Amino acid sequence: MEVIAVGTAAIDVVHEVAAYPAEDTKARSLATYKCRGGNAASALVVCSQLGGRCRWLSTSTDPEKDSDAAFIHADLAAFNVDCSLAVIEKEGSMPVSYILASRETGSRTIVHSRTIAELTCEAFAAQIERYLKEIREDVDAPVWFHFEGRNMETVRNMMLHIRENAPQAKISVEIEFPRYPWTLAKTLASLADYVFMSKDYLRDNIHILSAKDFFDGIQAQRWDEDWSEWVKAFICPWGAEGVHYLDMTTSTTHHIPTAQLDQVVESNGAGDSFIGATLAGLSRGDVPLHLVLKTACEVATVKCSQHGFKLPVDKLLRWKQDLHLSKAKAGISYSKDINQGCNNQIIFVTASSISPSHVVSSEVEQELERVQHATLPDTDVFIVPLLPAILEDNDGDIIVPRRQANKRRKSTRSEPAPARMSGVPREHANRATDTTFVLQARSRTTWDTAGTQLWRAAFLLAEYMYSTSETLFGQTVLELGCGIGFASIVASRLSRCVYATDSDKDALVLTRRNVEHNLHGDVRPRLLDWDDKSLISIAKDASAAQFDWISTDQAELENLTIIIASDVFYDDTLTLKFLRALRRLMLKYNRAKAYVTTERRSVFSAAAMQVVSLGYDTFQENICLHDPSTCHTYVTDNQVRCRTCIAGSSNQAGNDEDMLRFVVQEVQTSEIPQRFKYDRLSTLMLWKIDAVVVPIR
């Protein structure tokens, strides 16, 4: 879910000194530098690096007119933190903190200056309404709001506004600023799901010297506040001790120690880093709190050992894995792209299906030109060039371009019409010869969202469509599991209409963006869940949400003749779901045939004690291998009765999905011209699914 932090972004002017100077003395600055600061902004920068989707909401001067605002906005944008919700104020200046940092102790003293107006509840409500109605890409997705506990009366009203207008949202708040009394701060805490309590606030405002005493007071209802409606945990970072927290769902207290540093380089921002890492983990929705806080402690410790908020790459990768692998099954070591250039590499696994939370990365993206980070978190923009097609004349001979012998001689003959791609109808030639794709994709995901990456099988499918473009002309196409939409975009250039379907809304968002940034035909992103037996449910046009099926789709789907899919055979359970969904589609649309590309991956199963190909073996088990000339009788273009399959079935007269059999043929990939720069492994395959076996009626 997206994280919106409400709070300060400031300019920090840091002076490093050897040791704190005595009052009324002079000291030499060993280093002076300017950087972006502010609790909320710093937390977002860390959260974004760990995979969070982040937005900053506060007041700001106009970055086009104020250099300090421009500096802050540019720094946040560099970490993929969106600033479009900032409320632009015409008067005042951006907050500035003057920081005196002691190299002797690593501690700091801050003098803060602020002249810009505070964010009002009215301005906050207006921006939230704009976000919910105009900006949020997925209207059903929950949102995480994090509040600095400053200007508490206003913040409390903001939190109440969220509870009333976005009841599915999660809220966290930090109670840190000592100028606000506990009688007011506790009302904020009671409205939050997660409460970050500063040890200094507990000591100075409530006169509590340990987290245990505070937790005892909460559980004993010492402060006459109802914590039961919203609060899930109180979190108390405790400096070098680590973090203490009270899990309100289990009424248990916990302590996570932290590693001790030999030398503190910079403690400024350690608390913000801890909160940012916590938000990154909790906003995923499926990571245990203990693991999140353990990772957050490590992040804060590393922050104390360095200047700035740029997390070290080696540690960042491990932290992201920790936050993504929370539900991974023990003993599984598997990557969707295990070949790494070797066709027969074997990986050891202990289960026949992979945990949805297992982290995978697409090796093919290392072969592409990565041009920039995209606006969506954890996504990059890749340049995918289309290699020149082999051109033929009317007799089928290859046209070889030749240089003119004498460029100075002016030709008296008219130039011949440019040759077009073989097999592409003339009216589609312009759309089919675009030479570059610009694709936004993720480079690393969990297993259940692997479709938001780009895989080799999608290239093979695209190349096949280019090589047989005449079969797509004028056709309606549906892609199952479209992922980032690459194959659907290619198909749309060659066909009449393409339905790019997926059950992952994030994938459909990427599909829509990629469609917008590439030459395309009629592409319609739609939600389609393989588990849903109805598959396609037409919504009422008046109530149709984003990616819903609408009434006009029903008539268009009557013309469905081609179903495409790529890299859907990598897990036994998912493969069966795909095959059942494909069977239902082919039964409903009885002219449709399917084209599926896959990469066969070999693993060793400890359960089966043999080498298996997850997903692919399941597909092979559901192929009808009987002699068509003696066993098959076609009922429709894509439905066949097989005497042998029916004789061996326990449901000869039924119409259930126990008879999951398909008539297929393998297409030789060596006959498909390669049009993209990638390593076309021998384990890449393309299957044409001609028919589904049906029982006797």
Closest CA to 371 of 438, 450, 457: 438
- The per-residue pLDDT for 201 is 93
Inter-CA distances, 169 with 116, 128, 150, 192, Å: 29, 12, 21, 10
656 confidence band (pLDDT: 50, 70, 90): low
- Buried-exposed string 571-608: b where 16+ CB fall within 10 A, e elsewhere: bbebbbbbbbbbbbbbbebeebbbbbbbbbbbbeeeee
Give pLDDT tens digits for 24-60.
888 888 888 888 888 999 999 999 988 888 999 999 9
212 by DSSP, 3-state: which?
helix
Closest CA to 140 of 508, 638, 451: 508
Report residue 19: phi and psi, to 5°.
Answer: -155, 160
**What ranges in 455-504 are assigned the alpha helix state H?**
456-467, 486-494
DSSP state of 512: H
| Span 206-223, average pLDDT | 92
Closest CA to 623 of 564, 690, 528, 539: 690
CA–CA dist 238, 271 (Å, integer): 10
135 by DSSP, 3-state: which?
helix
CA–CA dist 204, 448 (Å, integer): 47
11 CB-near residues (< 8 Å, 6+ apart) = 34, 35, 36, 37, 68, 71, 72, 94, 95, 96, 97
Give pLDDT tens digits for 151-186.
899 999 999 999 999 988 999 999 988 889 999 999
- Token pair 């949400």: residue: 545
CA–CA dist 296, 385 (Å, integer): 41
Closest CA to 165 of 121, 204, 202: 121
306 by DSSP, 3-state: which?
coil
Tokens of 583: 């069977």
Q: Is the pLDDT of residue 415 over 50?
A: no
Q: What is the largest CA-CA distance in the chain?
A: 103
Instruction: Sketch the domain layout of the chain as residue ranges.
Output: 1-321, 377-384+430-691
The pairing of strands 639-642 and 632-636 is antiparallel
- The per-residue pLDDT for 571 is 85
Which range (20-24, 75-79, 315-319, 393-397) has the least confidence?
A: 393-397
Report residue 40: phi and psi, to 5°.
Answer: -65, -45
523: left (phi over 0), alpha (psi -120 to 50) or beta: beta
CA–CA dist 626, 639 (Å, integer): 15
CB atoms within 10 A of CB 436: 11
Fold type of domain 1-321: UDP-N-acetylmuramoyl-L-alanine:D-glutamate ligase (3.40.1190)
CA–CA dist 146, 171 (Å, integer): 6
- The per-residue pLDDT for 108 is 79
DSSP state of 284: T
- The per-residue pLDDT for 352 is 39
Q: What percent of the chain has pLDDT above 70? A: 82
Measure the CA angle with vertex 410, ends 406 and 412; round to 5°: 120
CA–CA dist 686, 456 (Å, integer): 12
- The per-residue pLDDT for 646 is 76
| Span 365-389, average pLDDT | 70
- Whether the model clears a pTM of 0.75, i.e. scores above it, the answer is no
Please report the sign of the dihedral spanned by the C-alpha atoms of residue 257, residue 261, residue 267, residue 273. negative
Q: Are 683 and 601 in contact (CB under 8 A)?
A: yes
Closest CA to 593 of 490, 523, 686: 686
Side chain identity, residue 383:
I
314 by DSSP, 3-state: which?
helix
The pairing of strands 684-693 and 593-599 is antiparallel
Length, in residues, of the chain: 697
Closest CA to 311 of 295, 325, 324: 295
Q: What is the average pLDDT value for the chain, to the nearest integer? A: 82
Give pLDDT tens digits for 316-349.
777 877 776 443 332 333 334 333 333 333 333 3
Side chain identity, residue 236:
C
- The per-residue pLDDT for 445 is 72
| Span 424-440, average pLDDT | 56
- The per-residue pLDDT for 413 is 36
CATH class of 377-384+430-691: alpha beta
Report residue 270: phi and psi, to 5°.
Answer: -65, -45
CA–CA dist 275, 45 (Å, integer): 11
Report residue 243: phi and psi, to 5°.
Answer: -135, 140
- The per-residue pLDDT for 402 is 57
Q: Are 293 and 275 in contact (CB under 8 A)?
A: no
CA–CA dist 141, 601 (Å, integer): 34
Give pLDDT tens digits for 65-116.
999 999 999 999 988 899 999 999 999 999 998 888 888 887 778 898 889 9
350 confidence band (pLDDT: 50, 70, 90): very low
132 by DSSP, 3-state: which?
helix
| Span 473-493, average pLDDT | 96
Burial class (CB in 10 A: 0-12, 13-18, 19+), 482: buried
The torsion defined by the Cα of 210, 215, 220 and 222, in degrees rounded to 10, comes to 60
- Token pair 């939050």: residue: 192
417 alpha carbon, distance to own chain's centre: 45
- The per-residue pLDDT for 257 is 86
Give the CB-side neighbour count of residue 448, counting CA atoms within 13 A: 12
236 confidence band (pLDDT: 50, 70, 90): very high
Please report the sign of the dihedral spanned by the C-alpha atoms of residue 363, residue 368, residue 369, residue 372. negative
- The per-residue pLDDT for 500 is 97
Q: Is the pLDDT of residue 485 over 80?
A: yes
Three-state SS letters, 543-562: HCCCCCECHHHHHHHCCEEE
Give pLDDT tens digits for 442-464.
877 776 778 888 999 999 999 99
- The per-residue pLDDT for 347 is 35
- The per-residue pLDDT for 558 is 94
